[in-house]
Amino acid sequence: MKRSTHCPTGFASASLYTAVLSLLALLAACAQVGKATDLNPDRFAPWQDTIEEYRLRPGDQIEIKLTYNPELSDRVLIGPDGRIALTLVGVVQAEGKTADELAKELTERFGKELRRPDVVVILREYSQRAVLVGGEVVQPGVHPLVGHIGVLEGILMAGGLKDTADAQQVALIRRGPDHRPMLRVVDVKSILTGGPNANDVPLHADDVIYVPRSNIAEVDLWIDQYVNQLLPFTRSFNYTINKNLAPGTVF
């Protein structure tokens, strides 16, 4: 899959690739079967639309405030490895925790050195969010996720659908609360035409959109690979063997 020129760099791309690395094998399975509905459902957790509390990620900038020891307060950037470094407590894993969970852990750690540790964690700046769009789109790759958009807008960010796309079987893959991937099939064609299944799905950071090939596209691919490239004739080939046959030859 060609990497898009829109691929963000730095913390955002590192975070995205960490989140979707295990999903790429599932995308390969999508490419083999051609249909999202052909995927083994045992690979995926049941889909959930509930929004989980935000968890810190590389590239987030957070403020660590100590109420009774303001001289130890600091504003830090979560590194690509998901960790931060603070005076007195050293290196702490921040990625994957909520702000309250991190504050509780830091309170315990500072409590070993301070008499009244009271820590508050405030998220000051979010890291750049992104989604991965693959399959039958014009510009597959990593694309920034800006604002509140759905699957259709995600596909448009990737240059739109190719003529070979199956817009009724678009796979949306998302990591669930237990970190297992969840799969939902989205009928983008109905969204475009206002059909009965016109239900778009809001995208989350690190979502994976995969657009499979249409049945006709699969046939065209087979003809190209196994006929045009392997056999010594083309679809427009005019058979001339008859002129070499002896008179009276019958097929």
Residue 122 CA, distance from chain mean position:
27
pLDDT in tens, 145-193: 888 899 999 999 999 999 999 999 998 988 877 777 888 999 999 999 8
Show the tokens assigned to 24.
Answer: 């790429």
pLDDT at 84 over 90: yes
pLDDT in tens, 186-233: 999 999 988 777 789 999 888 999 999 887 766 666 656 555 555 544
> Identity (one letter) of the amino acid at 60?
D
Run of H or E including 185:
strand 181-186
Four-point Cα dihedral 37, 189, 132, 8, nearest 10: 180
Name the CATH topology of 11-48+128-216: Outer membrane lipoprotein wza fold like (3.10.560)
Rounded Cα gap, residues 223 and 97, in angstroms: 51
Parse the chain into domains and list their residue ranges: 11-48+128-216, 61-125
- Centre a 10 Å sphere on the Cβ of residue 110 and count the other Cβ atoms it contains: 21
Rounded Cα gap, residues 93 and 231, in angstroms: 59
Query: Class assignment of domain 61-125?
Result: alpha beta
Q: For position 39, what pLDDT does the model report? A: 55
Rounded Cα gap, residues 126 and 152, in angstroms: 24
pLDDT at 101 over 80: yes
Q: For position 244, what pLDDT does the model report? A: 44
CA 208 vs CA 100, 149, 196, 205: distances in Å: 28, 14, 24, 9
Rounded Cα gap, residues 169 and 167, in angstroms: 6
